[in-house]
């Protein structure tokens, strides 16, 4: 399900800041060489993530789900001076490409790419984060939320991707597949969490913006 038409999306992209040459090339190369390229955030969502990050000016960003590094580069654009992005992915096959593009984007020295299962890695991270992007396996969204919550500064933000799951969240429960079940459970968990303010935006596949208030 597309939430807006191709034409409207194009109009939105044409009226947003253009992708940098590095992001444009990474976008193109991911579509040419990597499996499941639709996982990449893309132009409009990428500019949104960059804008939010620029507003927050985070000292520490955590990303769960690096893939080829597109969203990581966008998020890093808002880092405070001496800030750092830590990004985790279970798939080591994309690491070379991600490192190359982090280097091309000039964020090699302010990034750490960790290869492994985020469910095992997050408990061992000792920093606090001002901005956390959840964009990995849908099964673990609720687990990630619980694991990262105490590592998020009060006043910090979590952004979770794909929370409309192509509109499947509207289906009757008997028609849910496993991913839909996990996303619906995650959305309920976030919505009933009184420690947060939140807004669910119908951008691309749905972005949940969550602010920790206590």
Closest CA to 189 of 168, 166, 154, 158: 158
| Of 159 and 184, CB closest to ligand SAM | 159
- The strand ranges marked E within the chain are 60-64, 84-89, 111-115, 129-134, 152-161, 196-201, 207-212
Count of chain residues binding ligand SAM (CB under 6 A): 18
Q: Which of residues 82-121 bind ligand SAM (CB under 6 A)?
A: 88-91, 117-119
| Residue 206 touching ligand SAM (CB under 6 A) | no
Per CB under 6 A, the list member of 27, 50, 62, 67 interacting with ligand SAM is: 67
| Distances from the Cα of 145 to the Cα of 7, 10, 96, 135, 150, angstroms | 35, 33, 28, 11, 9
d(CA 110, CA 84): 5
| Of 130 and 135, CB closest to ligand SAM | 135
Per CB under 6 A, the list member of 48, 70, 102, 141 interacting with ligand SAM is: 70
Per CB under 6 A, the list member of 77, 137, 193, 211 interacting with ligand SAM is: 137
| Residue 29 touching ligand SAM (CB under 6 A) | no
d(CA 59, CA 82): 7
d(CA 205, CA 54): 22
Token duo for residue 163? 């929370």
Q: How far is the CB of 117 from ligand SAM (least distance, A)?
A: 4
Q: Which of residues 142-201 bind ligand SAM (CB under 6 A)?
A: none
d(CA 96, CA 102): 10
Looking at 9-17, 130-138, 175-183, 194-202, which segment touches ligand SAM (CB under 6 A)? Answer: 130-138
| Residue 41 touching ligand SAM (CB under 6 A) | yes
Binding site for ligand SAM (CB under 6 A): 39-41, 65, 67, 70-71, 88-91, 117-119, 135-137, 140
């Amino acid at each position: 399900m597309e939430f807006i038409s191709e034409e409207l999306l194009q109009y939105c992209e044409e009226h947003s800041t253009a992708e940098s040459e590095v992001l444009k090339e990474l976008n193109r190369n991911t579509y040419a060489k990597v499996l499941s390229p639709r996982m990449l955030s893309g132009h409009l969502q990428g500019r949104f993530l960059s804008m939010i990050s620029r507003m927050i000016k985070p000292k520490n960003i955590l990303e769960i789900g690096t893939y080829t590094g597109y969203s990581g580069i966008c998020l890093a654009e808002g880092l405070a001076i001496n800030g750092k992005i830590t990004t985790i992915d279970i798939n080591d096959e994309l690491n070379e490409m991600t490192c190359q593009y982090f280097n091309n984007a000039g964020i090699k020295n302010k990034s750490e790419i960790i290869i492994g299962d985020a469910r095992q890695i997050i408990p061992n991270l000792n920093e606090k984060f001002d901005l956390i992007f959840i964009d990995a396996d849908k099964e673990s969204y609720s687990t990630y939320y619980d694991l990262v919550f105490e590592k998020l500064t009060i006043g910090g933000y979590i952004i979770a991707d794909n929370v409309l799951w192509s509109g499947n969240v509207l289906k009757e429960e008997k028609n849910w597949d496993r991913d839909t079940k996990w996303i619906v459970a995650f959305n309920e968990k976030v919505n009933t969490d009184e420690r947060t303010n939140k807004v669910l935006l119908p951008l691309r596949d749905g972005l949940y913006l969550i602010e920790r208030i206590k």
